[in-house]
Each structure stands twice: as C-alpha cells, then as structure tokens.
C-alpha cells in the first residue's frame, strides 16, 4: 500500500495517574495515592492512529480538536507520529483521567463534553480522505462520524477503498460500502437492539445472530464481533443466513485491556489495505490485540511516550521475561518464579504452576535447555525441544513468560531475574537446592509447594512400550509388484 491509512474519528486526552498507596485517608475509607506520576496519551481515534503508525504505516488522522490546553497537548503528541487534519471541536476537549494505585484501578474521572458540529472542515480534511489507501473509522460518539461534510467524503471513499468501522452505541451507522465493522459484544447487542432486533442471550450463538442482522441491515461485507479473551467472531454478509461464522481464538493474555479494540481494528484495517481477505484481517487483529494486552496495553503506550517518545510497545507473550518483571515491579507487584525441565507436561506440572501463580502478580518459568536436560537426564532426553516446551508453557494462562537457561542450575538466571519468591515442589523437601542461597542473598524467599504424587515425566516414559524397529523399505521391484491390484493406493 502506497497511499496512507486515514483514521477518522473522535480523539480524547487520556491521562493515567499512577502511584503507591500504603494507607487510607483518615476522613474517608479511600486510599491515599503517593508518589503519583502523570502520563498523558491520545485516546480514541488518536490511539488507533498511533498504533498503526507504530507499525510503520503512513497515517493521516482526521478529527476535531478544540483550541484549549488539552487540545494543544493532543495535537503536539500526535503531530510527532501522524499527520493531523483537524477541524473545530465545539466545547472542551474530552478527557479521561484514570487513577491507579499499585497497578490497580481506583477511579476514573471524565471531563469535557466537546462535540464536532456541522460546518466547514477545510481542504486538508477533504484531501486526506480523497487520498486514502484505506480508512479506519474510530467512532467514540463525539460527532465526527456524523458531521455532514465528513460523512459525504466517507461515503465516496467507501466505494473505492477498504473501510473498517469501529462503532460506538452513541455514534453513527457505517456508510454504504463499509468492508468490516468491529463492535464488541456489548456494542453489537446495543446496536442490533437499536435497529429493532430482538435477540436475547449471550455466547457465540447470540453474537452470530447479531452480527448477521447488522451485516444485512447495513449491507456490510462483514461484521467481526470482538469477544475479549475469546477472540473475535466474523460473519461475512456475502455468505447469507446459512453461512458459517469464522472464529479467530485469542492467545491467553493477562492485563489491562484498555485500547485492545483500537489495536484490533487498526491491525485489521492494515491487512485489508494490503489486499488481505476478511478472515485474514480478523485473525491478524486478534493476534495483535492479544500482544497489545500482554505488553501492557494503553498504559504501556503512555509509559513509552513518556520515556522514549515512541508509541511502540513490544509484544508481551513472546517475550521477554524481563519486560514482564519490569512491568510487575513498576506496579508494585510480586514476582514469582519456578523452574525445571517440563519435558512432558503433566498434571503435577500444572498443579505446581497454578499454585505458584497465586502467590504473586506474575509467574516466570525458568526452563532447562536441551543440553542442560541431557546432562541431567541422559542422552535420550529431552523428548521435547526447548522451543516447544516454552511454547506449551506460555500457552497456559498461569504462565506470564518462560525463559531458557543453559547451565545445570538456574543460579545465574536468578541473579538477573531476582524473583521475590522462588518456588519448587515439596518433593525437594530436605534436599539441598543450589539456588536457594542465591535467592536468599538478594532478599528473596524459597517456597516449597505440594506436588501430585506419582506424576513425573520419567515415570510416564517408563510406562511406554519398547520401540519396535521400523520395517525395511521394499525394493523397487517389490514395490512395483505390491502396487498391482491396487487403485489409487487403496488395497483391492
């Protein structure tokens, strides 16, 4: 795609105030926030534009901005990363102030009721939409998508480039020719009800019926209902009432989901801009949203803007135990770690990991490398490579990250990670743990947890029948003889 992605919608100023809380206020049962730090960032369509730009896209943001201090702050933050084509916002810039203590939300304060109202938009807006290679509409119900001039330009764009519409219940319906609409479950229910649909209940069945209803009512190519941790469900309008929906499941991701919908829509729009099909766009959007949540979501964007000036956040699940530990410590949380070979994952492993995760705010698993396992267990081990063992572990919701070490014991790795709690199974009771001194030296604790009796990889492998040698390969002449009397490889 050579033409820019144009993001159209309402921009808000989001401010995260984070601090520590060690006591309650004496005159009311509320926490006292100390050492508070303010981190501003663009919200709404502004966040969607930043996320697309962080992927290396050329992005133009069409929005309404007020000439007040919050509006000027927004313009300055955005202009460093995207081109801004703005017209007048009537009233004060909408602001959402989120207050966090020890990483936990305490309160949100919403101020500013500015709205976009009909009037001239200027040539920069018209030129931006006319030159779009694709359009992402990020509707936050503040009037930009209902503006007469903007809507006329959107209707023209809908006939020639992909348009992705991220709706809002207080916003406006998508324009004809919209390729994909991306409501969440609640938005889909409210939009369908507002259009006269009587669809009760929840789950995949209700989401499918609502998506199908909205696709038919507004003549959309597709509706993708985002399902939070369950991924997204796509109904394509062209498939008709009997077409099966496409479900894109999400990888497990723990954390604040603020901005996940913007991340999903921004990625889906980019895939469609590059010529991808709707299922590809939805699957890519789900993957990106899970990575975004795992990396700290919108709060991480605010932190990155404050620290480096960049809105780019690293994926959280694949990474980086170090990122997980840093985020947890920054929020005042407790880091828990455990370690082992985890060669064939079994019920004993799962029990230990579940118990360990409950002890803190993140769980890091230290995994013996293939060479380390061979030294400990013999030349026939491991059965599963380190890369596959890490992938299986990170698929568990109780595991925040896994990291491989090559030594016989994890002492050097623990010196770097410095978990607050190091966990092993109670089968190590009475045994000398070489790493215990390392953990205690930096002030950590060593905890033994109950284990499931009789569960171990070694015992599982001992129950397998001995391997039989493979039969010899037939010679060419024997193979030709064997093939007679057969049809398409099926014995007669």
Active site residues: 262
CB–CB of 249/242 below 8 Å? Answer: no
d(CA 447, CA 426): 9
Q: What are the residues facing 186 on neighbouring strands?
A: none
CB–CB of 243/155 below 8 Å? Answer: no
d(CA 186, CA 30): 31
CB–CB of 36/102 below 8 Å? Answer: no
Among 350, 249, 259, which Cα is nearest to 301's? Answer: 259
The strand pair at 163-166 and 180-181 is best described as: parallel
Question: What residues contact 481, with CB distance under 8 A and at least 6 apart?
Answer: none
The strand pair at 34-44 and 83-88 is best described as: unpaired
Question: What residues contact 437, with CB distance under 8 A and at least 6 apart?
Answer: none
d(CA 68, CA 56): 30
Q: Is 122 left (phi over 0), alpha (psi -120 to 50) or beta?
A: left
Report helix angle 297-307 to 45-54, nearest 10. 70
Question: What residues contact 79, with CB distance under 8 A and at least 6 apart?
Answer: none
Residues in the chain: 492
Q: Give whole-number Cα distances, 380 to 5, 120, 338, 387, 463, in Å.
A: 53, 75, 24, 17, 15
d(CA 426, CA 162): 58
Burial 248-268 (b: 16+ CB within 10 A, else e): bebbbbbbbbbbbbbbbbbbb
Distance of alpha carbon 16 from its chain centroid, rounded? 19
Distance of alpha carbon 418 from its chain centroid, rounded? 27
- List the structure tokens of 305: 């803007």
d(CA 83, CA 302): 19
């Amino acid at each position: 795609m050579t033409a820019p992605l144009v993001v159209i919608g309402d921009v808000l100023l989001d401010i995260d105030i984070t601090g520590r809380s060690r006591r309650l206020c004496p005159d009311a049962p509320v926490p006292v926030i100390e050492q508070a730090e303010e981190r501003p960032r663009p919200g709404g369509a502004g966040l969607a534009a930043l996320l697309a730009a962080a992927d290396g896209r050329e992005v133009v943001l069409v929005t309404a901005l007020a000439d007040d201090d919050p509006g000027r702050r927004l313009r300055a933050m955005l202009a460093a990363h995207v081109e801004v084509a703005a017209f007048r916002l009537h009233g004060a810039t909408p602001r959402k102030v989120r207050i966090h203590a020890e990483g936990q939300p305490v309160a949100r304060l919403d101020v500013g009721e500015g709205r976009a109202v009909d009037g001239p938009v200027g040539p920069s807006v018209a030129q931006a939409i006319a030159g779009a290679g694709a359009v992402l509409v990020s509707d936050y119900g503040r009037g930009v998508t209902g503006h007469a001039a903007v809507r006329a330009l959107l209707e023209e764009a809908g006939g020639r480039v992909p348009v992705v519409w991220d709706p809002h219940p207080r916003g406006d319906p998508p324009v004809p020719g919209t390729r994909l609409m991306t409501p969440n479950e609640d938005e889909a229910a409210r939009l369908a009800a507002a259009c006269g649909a009587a669809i009760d209940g929840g789950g995949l069945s209700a989401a499918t019926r609502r998506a199908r209803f909205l696709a038919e009512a507004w003549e959309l190519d597709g509706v993708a209902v985002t399902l939070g941790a369950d991924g997204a469900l796509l109904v394509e309008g062209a498939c008709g009432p009997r077409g099966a929906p496409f479900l894109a499941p999400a990888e497990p991701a723990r954390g604040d989901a603020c901005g996940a919908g913007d991340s999903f829509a921004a990625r889906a729009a980019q895939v469609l801009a590059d010529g991808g099909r709707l299922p590809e766009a939805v699957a890519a959007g789900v993957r990106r949203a899970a990575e975004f949540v795992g990396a700290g979501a919108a709060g991480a964007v605010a932190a990155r803007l404050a620290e480096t000036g960049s809105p780019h956040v690293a994926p959280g699940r694949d990474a980086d135990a170090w990122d997980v530990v840093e985020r947890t410590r920054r929020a005042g949380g407790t880091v828990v770690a455990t370690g082992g070979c985890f060669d064939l994952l079994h019920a004993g492993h799962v029990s230990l990991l579940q118990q360990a995760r409950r002890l803190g705010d993140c769980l890091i698993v230290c995994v013996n490398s293939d060479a380390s396992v061979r030294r400990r267990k013999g030349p026939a081990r491991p059965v599963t490579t380190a890369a596959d063992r890490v992938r299986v572990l990170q698929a568990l919701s109780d595991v925040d990250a896994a990291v491989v070490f090559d030594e016989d014991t994890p002492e050097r790795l623990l010196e770097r990670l410095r978990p607050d709690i190091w966990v092993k199974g109670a089968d190590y009771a009475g045994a000398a743990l070489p790493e215990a001194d390392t953990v205690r030296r930096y002030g950590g604790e060593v905890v033994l947890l109950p284990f499931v009796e009789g569960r171990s990889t070694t015992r599982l492998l001992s129950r397998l029948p001995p391997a039989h040698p493979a039969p010899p390969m037939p010679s060419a002449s024997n193979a030709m003889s064997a093939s007679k009397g057969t049809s398409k490889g099926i014995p007669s």
